[in-house]
């Protein structure tokens, strides 16, 4: 089962982290950007090619120590279709390099529309008599504000194609509380969402590690909620954003794991992508800097949470 594959990668590398591939052009070292702007002008094509080279360099530097990557769709869509084409190439390259690929799309729409999204991101579309895949990620992030109608079509493809999904429960941002911490009856809204995630998950296959196909996004920046959610959702894999730049620490994310250090993966995006900006080499060493940052993050988490 897909989450078993992820957990095995994590155990093998002793590293429960995922590298965000969320590059803005200003994160890309000048020598790369200049090459493509010289070739293509100040165009979306130039930006897309510069970011692709940067993404591939990051993945080359990280592939033996980081089990997963998480491209965020926004940082491709801002370059229009050229960005989206490059996202497809990034996902293909990531899979070739052995990464588990979490497409961070946070889609949430109903019925037939959710089915169409799912076809594009996890499944296949029917064209004539052929079944054709598009982005073909291992996993997506989803928004459940619209309820089951927005989630179930993805679960069908998840079973068919052995994929997984993380649903937003407790997000890591400051304004998360505006809706998610309203008291709904005797519970907070995000706990209602947690219960929905649990119900949706129970309709799917459970892997050997005890986790079903429906994970939860649970931010590192609310550690007491993490602890509570870990108890509440023993069969739910967690994707934990908010480490590093947003303020989450290794101590905070510790609560996301079960007693064997399993069942969670912690994201870092800028901390890894932009590590080269802390050296004075103008990004000539961006891969090495990313690798060192990833090792530092791994070791900080491992020091608090042994990965068994």
Q: Which of residues 191-230 bind a second copy (CB under 8 A)?
A: 192-193, 196
Closer Cβ to a second copy, 3 or 252, answer by number: 252
Return d(Cα 94, Cα 59) in angstroms, integer.
Answer: 7
Among 11, 14, 95, 106, which residue interacts with a second copy (rule: CB under 8 A)? 106
Alpha carbons 268 and 248: distance in angstroms, whole number: 10
Known catalytic residue: 106? Answer: yes
Contact 307, 16 (CB under 8 A): yes
Between 14 and 152, whose beta carbon lies closer to a second copy?
A: 152
- x/- binding map, residues 117-156, to a second copy, per CB under 8 A? x-xxx---xxxxxx-x-xx-------xxxxxxxx------
Helix, strand and coil in the chain, % to nearest 5: 50, 20, 30
* Between 111 and 234, CB nearer to a second copy: 111
Helix (H) or strand (E) holding 212: none
Q: Which of residues 42-81 bind a second copy (CB under 8 A)?
A: 42-44, 46-47, 72, 74-75, 77-81
Binding part of the chain for a second copy, among 5-13, 110-118, 275-283, 284-292 by CB under 8 A, reads 110-118
Residue 73 has a CB neighbour count (10 Å cut-off) of: 20
Cβ proximity to a second copy: between 42 and 280 the closer is 42
| DSSP 8-state symbol, 206 | B
Q: Contact 16/266 with Cβ under 8 angstroms?
A: yes
Q: Which of 14, 35, 97, 106 is catalytic?
A: 106
Tell me which residues are annotated as active site.
106
């Amino acid at each position: 089962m897909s989450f078993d594959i992820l957990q095995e990668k994590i155990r093998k590398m002793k590293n429960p982290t995922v590298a965000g591939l969320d590059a803005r052009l200003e994160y890309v070292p000048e020598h790369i950007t200049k090459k493509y702007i010289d070739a293509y002008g100040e165009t979306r094509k130039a930006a897309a090619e510069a970011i692709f080279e940067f993404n591939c360099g990051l993945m080359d530097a990280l592939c033996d120590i980081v089990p997963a990557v998480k491209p965020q769709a926004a940082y491709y869509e801002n370059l229009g279709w050229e960005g989206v084409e490059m996202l497809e190439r990034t996902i293909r390259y990531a899979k070739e390099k052995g990464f588990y690929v979490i497409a961070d799309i946070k889609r949430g729409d109903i019925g037939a529309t959710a089915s169409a999204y799912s076809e594009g991101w996890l499944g296949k579309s029917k064209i004539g008599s052929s079944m054709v895949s598009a982005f073909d990620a291992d996993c997506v992030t989803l928004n459940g504000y619209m309820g089951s109608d927005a989630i179930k079509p993805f679960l069908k493809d998840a079973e068919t194609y052995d994929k997984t999904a993380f649903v937003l429960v407790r997000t890591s941002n400051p304004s998360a509380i505006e809706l998610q911490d309203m008291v709904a009856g005797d519970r907070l809204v995000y706990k209602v969402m947690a219960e929905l995630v649990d119900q949706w998950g129970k309709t799917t296959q459970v892997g050997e590690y005890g986790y079903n196909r429906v994970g939860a996004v649970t931010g590192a920046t609310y550690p007491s909620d993490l602890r509570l959610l870990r108890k509440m959702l023993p069969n739910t894999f967690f994707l934990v954003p908010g480490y590093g730049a947003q303020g989450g620490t290794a101590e905070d994310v510790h609560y996301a794991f079960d007693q064997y250090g399993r069942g969670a993966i912690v994201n870092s995006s800028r901390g890894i992508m932009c590590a080269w900006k802390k050296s004075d080499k103008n990004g000539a060493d961006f891969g090495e800097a990313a690798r060192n940052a990833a090792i530092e993050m791994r070791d900080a988490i491992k020091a608090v949470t042994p990965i068994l």
